[in-house]
Structure 1
C-alpha cells in the first residue's frame, strides 16, 4: 500500500467506502426497524445513492487527499460535518420527492454509524502504517518537562516520529503527580533523578512556553544533576505544522535562551530605509559583524551590495554565500584595506555609494594591546580615510560600528574605537547635511570571532579547563543578528553625530556563563568540593587593558530614539582641525614605536583613557628615527594637547 501511486490509493479508499457505507446504512435501518426483510424492502439502489452522496461529501472535506499516517482530529471533525451535510441533503431530497416510505430517523442513526466507521477505519489504518510499515524505530528515550498544553501536543507529535520515544512527563505542580496526560504518566520534579535512572531517560525536552531565563537556568541545573541532556521546544506553533517533524520542532538549548532579556526586534519601517533600492558598501564584510550585516542587507532588496575586506578567504566565503542565496542581486567584492585612501576613493567614485556600514576594525583586546601601532593605524586611520571620502563623495549615510569598550577605555582597542567615534563626530560637523554620520555602540556579540562562547566550546570539547580571567568579570551580551539590525536601524534614525546604544539589560558574569555552558553540555563542574566533576574553571587573571566591568553610557546627554529599546547620546567632541592634527601626530608617534609617546598622544585625544600600569609589554623604540625629528614630534604633541 505504501508503494502504490497516490491516485491508486484514492481509488482504493473510495472503493472501500462505497462498499462499507451501504452496510452502515443497513445497520442504521436494522437499528430503526429491527427487521432485515423490512430494511431490504427499499432496494439496493437506495443504499448506493446515499453512499454516493456521502462519498461526494467526504471528497469535499479533503478526506481522500489526506495522508493516512498523519490524519488528525481536525480532519476527522471536518469529515463528521461533511457527513452531516450529506444526511441533510438526502433528507431534503426525500422532502422534495415526498417519499413517505423511507424512515427519516434512520438517517440520524446513519450519521452515528457512518462517522464511527470513518473514525475507526482511518485510525486503525494510521496506527497500522505507523507501527508496522514505517521505518524501524531508532528513537531516543526522552521525557517532557511541562505537562501543559504544549507538553501534551509535543507528546502526541513525538509518537508520529522515529526520532523520539516519550516515556513520561515531569512537572513542578504537585496536583499533577501520578496523573496521566496524553497517555503518559506525570511525575513531580522531586523524583527526577529516580525516574531518569528507572526509565533510562537520555534527554529531557522543555515544553514550557515563554519560560523565563532564570527558571530555565534552574531547570538546566536540575537536569545536569540528574545526568541528562536538555533540549527545548522551539515554538508551539510548529507542532501544528504537519510538514514539520519533531526533530525540527525540538532543538538544543542555546546561550541566547539564557541571556536574561528578550531580543530587541527591528522596527519594520526603519529597517530598510537606508538599504532598499540603495547601493550599499560594507567594510570588514568578511568578519563576524560585517558578514551578518551583509546577510541582513541582501534580504532588504538593495540595488547593489559592495563588500570590502583585506582577508581574501573571508571575502570569498561571504560573497559565495550571498550569491548562492540571491543569484540575481549584484554583489561586488573589493579586496584591500580600509586604510587605503586610493582604494576607498576609487570604490566611492566609480559606484555612487548611498550607504556605508563601517565594520572593519581590529577588536581583540589582548592582541591590539600587544600590537598597538597596527591596532591604532587600522582602527583610527581606517575610520579617518572612510569618513573623509564619504563626505567628499556625498554618501547619504555612514554608520560606524563602535564598542562598549570605547567608554572610559583602559585599553588601546577601546581608545581606538573612541577616536574613531571622534572622527565621525568631526565629519558630521565638517560635511553638514550632505552626509549623515552616526555611531552604534554595543557590547559583546554572541558567536563572533572574538566572543568567549567559541573559546569555551573548544575548551569543553577538549575536556577543559575553561579559562576565565577573573571571578567577578562581567560583560554585556547581544545576538549577532540583533547587532546587525541595530546598525541598520541606526542609519535610518541618525540626524548627524549621534551615538546609538542598545538597552542590553543586565550584564552577565563570565564565570556564570562558563558554568552554564558546562551544564548545557550535560557535564558538571570540577571543584575542590566536587573533584569527580568533568570540567574545571581556571581563573588566569585579567589581560592587559581588560576591565572588570564594561559600560555603555558616559556622562553625556541621553535621549530616546524612534525605537523604544535604543538610546541616542550626545558625546563630547573635538574641533575637526585639532583632531586632524592629533591624528597626524599619533601616526608619527606610531612610527617611533615608543609606547609612552603613543599612549600620551592617545590620552591627549581621549581624556578618559586610563591605561593600566605595568601590564602591557613595553615597545622598543625605533632606533633609526633621528633625534631632531623625535624632538619635533614631542614638541607638536605638547603644543596641541588640550
Structure 2
C-alpha cells in the first residue's frame, strides 16, 4: 500500500525552499518600494537621471539589506502564524538597513539620491513586507475557518482583560463559537471593542445582555482574578440560567499544564471554591524530603489526595496502605503514569490487622504516618454496621498508633471530622473516641507525636452528597434532600489535604487542629446550583425532601460545648483547646468487649454512651 506521507526530499528541503521564496519576495518588495519612493518624491513622475541612479544603486541596496534581514531572523517565523513579534523583527531589520544605506550614500557622495526617498523607502518597505505577511495569514484563516463561522454557538465573554482578549482572538478562528459581546466591570472599557467585539457593560448585566442578544452560553475569562471575583461572575451567570464555561486558572496557564482555549464546564466546586492555601513550602520540604511517609486509607478521597500532595515534596518512599485492592490499583496506575519519579510501595492491608501493620512498619520504618483510613458514611454505619465502625475507626486507629510507637515514627496525623463534636451518630462517636485515644497515648509520653485534624465535608469525596446529586440528575431526578434547613461546612479535597500537611508540620503532639471551613452552606442550595449547572430547571429536575436519616444533624459543629480555639500562625488553622480525656480503660475491658461483640446495635450504642457521655444517639 503506498504511503500517504510526502517523499523524503520534500520533508527535508521544503522549509528551506519556503524560506528562499520569502527571501525573494522581500527582495522584490525592496526594489518596488525603492522605485515607489522616487515616484512619490517626484509627484508620480520619474526623471531619467534619477531612474539611472535608482538602477545603479539597486545592487548596493540588496547587498546592504539581504544580510541584515537574515541576521535579524526575518525567516525564522512562518507566514501562516505571523505575529507582532514578526512585525517587530521587520521594523528592526528595515530601520537598521535604512540607516546603513543613508550613511553609505552620504559617505560615498552618490548624487541624485533625494533625502526624502531615503526616508520614504523604509516606511513603504515595512508596510509591504509586514502587510503581505498579515494578508497571507488572514487569507489562510478565512480559508480554514471562515466558511464555518456562521455555524458556531453565540457566546458572551465575561472579562475584557488579557485573558478575554486572547480568548476572543482564538475563538474567532474556531468553528464552534461566535463571540456576541464582552462584559467587564471596568467602566473605562465600556463601549470599546476587542478585535471588533464590543464591550457592552458590567458583568452584573449578564442576564440582560444574554436575553437581548439571544445568547445561552457564557465563558468566564478572568484567569488572573481572585477566586471571589470569578465565583461572583459564575454565580451571576448560573442564576441567569445560562450554560457557563470557564477558562483555566492563572497558575495552570503559567505552569503550561493547560491552554487558555481548554474551556470546561463550571462545576459546583468553582462556585464554592475558596482562596488558595498558603503553605510553608520550605518547612514541608524539610519534613518530607527523602523521608519514608505512610498513608493509610490511601485509596480514598482524602488519602489519595494526601499522597499526591506529599509527592510534591520528594519523599524518599511513599507507602500507600489500603484495604481495597481496586482503589489501590487505581492509585498505583495514576502514580506510575503521572508521578513516575516518586518511589511508592503499595500495601494491601487492614488497619485492624496487627500482624500486617507490624510487617509494614518493620519493612519501611515510616517517619510520618497520615491515618486517613476510616468508615465515614453516617447512615451506613448507624445500625447494621455499627460494630464495624467501632472496630475500624477506634481499634484500627489504636493499632496504627501502637505500631507507630513501636517503630519510632516521628509523627502520626489523624484525620477526624466535625461529626465527632457532640456526636449523634455512631460514626461521629467512634471518631471522637479515636481522638481521645490518641490524646491519652500522647499523655503517656514516647517518641511519637499524635496530631488530630478535624474538618467538615469535602466536596466530591467518596460517598458525599455531590456525587449523589450528580447521579440523581443524570437519571432525570428527583434530587433528594433530607431537610430544607440542613446545612454543612464544605471545602475542596486539595485544600483539605494541604491543610492536613500544614497541621502535621505545625503540630508538636496532642493538638486537635480545626480547619477554617468558611461559611456553612444549605444543602438545598447546593442541589439547586447543581441542577442549574447541569443545564436544567427545577421544573425539569425536581427536589424532594425525604426527612433526616438516622444519626443525622441539621447542622454540624467544629467545637464541642466545652472547647475553645487558639490561633496559630496559619490563618486557616486553629487549635481546639479541649479538656483532657477521661480515664478510659483501653486494656482488658476493651479487649473483652471486642472478643464478645454485643448482641445488637442498641447494646453497642449503650456501651459507646458509657465511654463517651456527650454521645446522644438519635438526636
Band the TM-score falls in, shorter-chain normalisation = 0.7 to 0.9
Q: Secondary structure at the match of 1:274?
A: helix
* Structure 1 SS opposite 2:450: strand
Superposition pairs for residues 108-187 of structure 1, below 5 Å? 108-133=119-144, 137=148, 139-147=152-160, 150-170=163-183, 180-187=193-200
| Number of equivalences | 599
Match of 2:3 in 1: none
Deviations 1:437-468 (A, max 9, x none): 21111111111112211111111111111111
Partner of 1:606: 612
Tell me how far apart the structure 2 counterparts of residues 461 and 58 of structure 1 sit (CA, whole Å). 61
- Over 3 Å counting, the alpha-carbon distance change for 1:561 and 1:251 in structure 2 is same
Aligned position for 2:40: 31
Any conservation in 1 of the 2:247–2:261 contact (CA below 8 Å)? no
Q: Is the 8 A contact 1:283 1:309 kept in 2?
A: yes
Corresponding position: 1:413 with 2:424: no
Distance in 2 between the 1:143 and 1:80 partners?
36
After alignment, is 435-444 or 155-164 more displaced?
155-164
Q: Which secondary structure does the structure 1 equivalent of 2:585 belong to? A: helix
Paired position in structure 1 for 2:452? 439
Give the 3 Å change call, closer, same or farther, for CA 20–263 of structure 1 in structure 2: same
With normalisation by structure 2, the TM-score equals: 0.88
CA distance in 2, matches of 1:244, 1:288: 24
Cα 1:157/1:242, change in 2 over 3 Å: farther
Q: Which moved more, 1:23-32 or 1:402-411?
A: 23-32
2:246 to 226, 232, 256: 232
The match for 1:538 is 544
State the alpha-carbon separation in 2 of the partners of residues 163 and 423 from structure 1: 59
Q: Which deviations, in whole Å up to 9, do the C-alpha atoms of 1:366-409 show, x marking residues without a partner? A: 10112110011011111000001101111112111111111121
Gaps of 5+ in 1: 526-532, 614-642
CA deviations 1:96-141 (Å, max 9, x no partner) are 5565664444332222111111231111111111111469736433
Q: More displaced, 409-418 or 66-75?
A: 66-75
The CA deviation at 1:364 is 0.6
Q: Kindly indicate whether the alpha-carbon contact (under 8 Å) linking 2:248 and 2:260 is maintained by their aligned counterparts in 1.
A: no
In 2, Cα distance between equivalents of 1:241 and 1:7:
34
Give the alignment's TM-score, normalised by structure 1.
0.85
Counterpart residue number, 1:216: 234
The Cα of 1:152 is off from its aligned counterpart by 3.5
One of 562, 575, 580 as aligned partner of 1:573: 580
Q: Shift in Å at residue 609 of structure 1?
A: 1.6
Distance verdict in 2 for CA 1:47–1:576, change over 3 Å: farther
What residue in structure 2 maps to residue 66 of structure 1? 77
SS in 2 for 1:42: helix
Q: Could you list the per-position Cα deviations for residues 223-264 of structure 1 after superposition, in whole angstroms to 9, with x for gaps in the alignment? A: x1xxx411123346989999976532x322122221163232
Q: Tell me the secondary structure at the aligned position of residue 609 of structure 1.
A: coil
Give 1:480 shift: 0.9
Alpha-carbon distance, 1:419 to partner: 1.4
Choose from 437, 446, 450 the match for 1:423.
437
Map of 1:524 onto structure 2: 537
**Residues 87 and 110 of structure 1, relative CA distance in 2, 3 Å threshold:** same
Q: Does 1:385 align with 2:391?
A: no
- Distance in 1 separating the partners of 2:15 and 2:610: 78
Preserved contact between residue 28 and residue 106 of structure 1 (Cα < 8 Å): yes
Gaps of 5+ in 2: 1-5
Q: From the superposition, tell whether residues 191 and 574 of structure 1 become closer, same or farther in structure 2 (CA, over 3 Å).
A: closer
486, 489, 506: which is aligned to 1:476? 489
Matching residue of 2:27 = 18
Secondary structure of the residue that 2:519 maps to in structure 1? coil
Q: Deviations over 1:586-614 (max 9, x none)?
A: 5357x02333332233223333222125x
Greater displacement, 370-379 / 594-603: 594-603
Per-residue deviation at 1:166? 1.6
- Deviation, structure 1 residue 567: 1.6
Compare 92-101 and 317-326 and name the one that shifted more: 92-101
Relative to 1, partners in 2 of residues 1:289 and 1:15: Cα closer, same or farther, differing over 3 Å?
A: same
User: 2:264 and 2:370 mapped to 1: Cα distance?
Assistant: 33
Please show how residues 293-442 of structure 1 align to structure 2 within 5 Å: 293-370=306-383, 371-432=385-446, 434-442=447-455
- Cα 1:167–1:54 change in 2 (3 A) is farther
Across the aligned residues of Structure 1 and Structure 2, the Cα RMSD in angstroms comes to 3.2
SS at match of 1:600: helix
**How far apart in 1 are the matches of 2:396 and 2:35?**
88
Between the aligned partners of 1:345 and 1:95, the Cα distance in structure 2 is: 91
| Native 8 Å contact 1:142 1:203 kept in 2 | yes
More displaced, 134-143 or 442-451?
134-143
1:466 aligned onto 2:479: yes
- Greater shift, 552-561 or 275-284, is seen at 552-561
Query: What's the secondary structure of 2:542's corresponding residue?
Result: strand
Say if 1:404 and 1:441, in contact at 8 Å, map to a contact too. yes
CA 1:64–1:139: 2 relative to 1, 3 Å: farther
**Is residue 2:573 matched to residue 1:562?**
no
Alignment partner of 1:281 out of 279, 294, 298: 294
Residue by residue, what CA displacement relative to the aligned partner does 1:493-535 show, whole Å, maximum 9, x if unpaired? 111111222212111111111111111112111xxxxxxx211
2:158–2:233 Cα contact (<8 Å) kept: no
Comparing 118-127 with 69-78, greater Cα deviation is found at 69-78
SS of alignment partner, residue 409 of structure 1:
coil
- Report the Cα distance in structure 2 between the residues aligned to 1:442 and 1:272, rounded to whole angstroms: 24
Q: Distance in 2 between matches of 1:328 and 1:193?
A: 49
Q: Which moved more, 1:272-281 or 1:359-368?
A: 272-281
- Larger mean CA deviation between 498-507 and 210-219 belongs to 210-219
The answer as to whether partners of 2:90 and 2:130 remain within 8 angstroms in 1 is no
Question: Within 1, Cα distance between the matches of 2:595 and 2:245?
Answer: 56
Query: Superposition pairs for residues 614-633 of structure 1, below 5 Å?
Result: none
Q: Is the 8 A contact 1:579 1:605 kept in 2?
A: no
Distance (Å, rounded) in 2 between the aligned partners of 1:49 and 1:475: 80
Q: Cα 1:414–1:67, aligned 2, differ >3 Å: closer, same or farther?
A: farther
